[in-house]
Amino acid sequence: MNAAQSNTATVHAPAKINLYFNITGRRADGFHLVDSLVGFTTLGDELTIRTGEPLDIVSEGPFAENMPPPYKNLVYQAAQLLADAAGVQARAHITITKNLPVAAGIGGGSTDAATAIKTLAKLWGIADDRVDLYALGLTLGSDVPACLLARTTYAGGIGEILDDAPKIPNAGILLVNPGVALVTASVFQARRGGFIPPDRFTKAPRDAAALATVLADRDNDLTDAAVRLCPVIRNVLSALETLPGCHLARMTGSGATCFGIFDDLAAAEAAAPSVDQDGWWVAPTELNVD
């Protein structure tokens, strides 16, 4: 496929959630080492990519107004890096339907970039052995390698070491963001305390309740720091914890989005109206276990 040809693809960029998130250490260069079980939901952004045109990013959808200028968008950077690495022209018009809030701990920018990288590699005809997409993705952000995989995985190192995780059961997920953006670096800087050793499990939970029980022994090590910077996160967690059918409430990533685990999508949808407050983003979805 010639890079100058026009080809179009519309692809889904799923939201990422950290089912648990431990900080296990810190490298000499300041990057934190992590141990996290990363899952993905059926909810996400949508990218429509049309090659054969000058590189440009257009954003639309509920959170388009919060997006950076095109040349500062992570998708733009991803496309340019991929083109440079592969020795092709960076020609693509990309429309992002932004359904996910920005700077929310659900990997919106990372999943968009990862989805763009995978799709552009196919549209531009880049052979699998020509560019290491995971190494390229890591230069854009620590979440990008897991988002390239886009299935439940254990993430270690600074996010680049991906290991097989046990099969995760079907479960409803209720995502709630209080309408506040948090900068990841600020949350890491605000964190206090020592480090936590990896705490992975190998047995597959049989259902959503069993998954919640296993996860209850683990946590998100950034929660306290995020709450100090954004106290309303505690209100979100409390609201989720009191919902009928919610097995577990937790913050994902560096916040401010939190999630509740339910038996199925129907249960998450039924609970959503009870937590809907002015200015809060409330989105029922489910784990993508395919």
Q: Beta-carbon neighbour count of residue 197 at 10 Å?
A: 8
CA-nearest of 63, 60, 56, 146 to 101 is 63
The question of whether 143 is a catalytic residue gets the answer yes
Q: Which of 35, 45, 112, 143 is catalytic?
A: 143
Q: Which of 16, 98, 112, 118 is catalytic?
A: 16
Q: CA angle, corner 62, sides to 37 and 155, nearest 5?
A: 10
Token pair belonging to 166 = 């046990």
Q: 61-97 in b/e burial notation, b at 16+ Cβ within 10 A?
A: eebeeebeeeeebbbbbbbebbbebbebebbbbbbbb
Burial class (CB in 10 A: 0-12, 13-18, 19+), 129: exposed
Q: Are 187 and 255 in contact (CB under 8 A)?
A: yes
Q: Are 34 and 99 in contact (CB under 8 A)?
A: no
The question of whether 163 is a catalytic residue gets the answer no
User: Rounded CA gap, 107 and 16, in Å?
Assistant: 5
User: Rounded CA gap, 78 and 112, in Å?
Assistant: 9
Residue owning tokens 């784990």:
287
Q: CA angle, corner 105, sides to 178 and 191, nearest 5?
A: 95
Active-site residues, by number, are 16, 143
